[in-house]
Amino acid sequence: SDDDGGDVSDGEDEDLMQQLMEEERAELEEDAADPVDIVPAHEDDEESSPDKKTKREKKAEEEEKKKNKKKKSKKRKLSADNAAAEDGASRAAREGDKKETDADNSDNGIGKPLSKKQRKKLAKQKAKELADAVAKEQGYDRKKQQEKDDAAATNKVEKKRSAPSKSMTRERRIEGGVIIRDIVIGAGTSVRPGRKVSINYEGTLQSDGSVFDKNKSKANPFSFRPGTGEVIKGLDKGMEGMKIGGERIITIPPAMAYGRKGTAGIPKNSTLIFTIKLLNIGGM
Cα–Cα distances (Å) from 1 to 4, 5, 6, in that order, read 5, 6, 9
* Most confident of the ranges 53-57, 155-159, 186-190, 247-251: 247-251
Cα–Cα distances (Å) from 3 to 9, 16, 48, 95, 109, in that order, read 10, 20, 60, 127, 148
Helix (H/G/I), strand (E/B), else coil: 14: helix
| Rounded Cα distance, 107 and 280, in Å | 55
| Rounded Cα distance, 173 and 168, in Å | 15
**Percent helix, percent strand, percent coil in the chain, to nearest 5:** 55, 20, 30
Amino acid letter, residue 157: V
CB 205 within 8 Å of CB 216: no
The model's pLDDT over 181-221, given as tens digits with 9 standing for 90+, comes to 999 999 988 999 999 999 999 999 999 999 999 999 999 99
Global pTM reads 0.43
The model's pLDDT over 236-274, given as tens digits with 9 standing for 90+, comes to 999 999 999 999 999 999 999 999 999 988 999 999 999
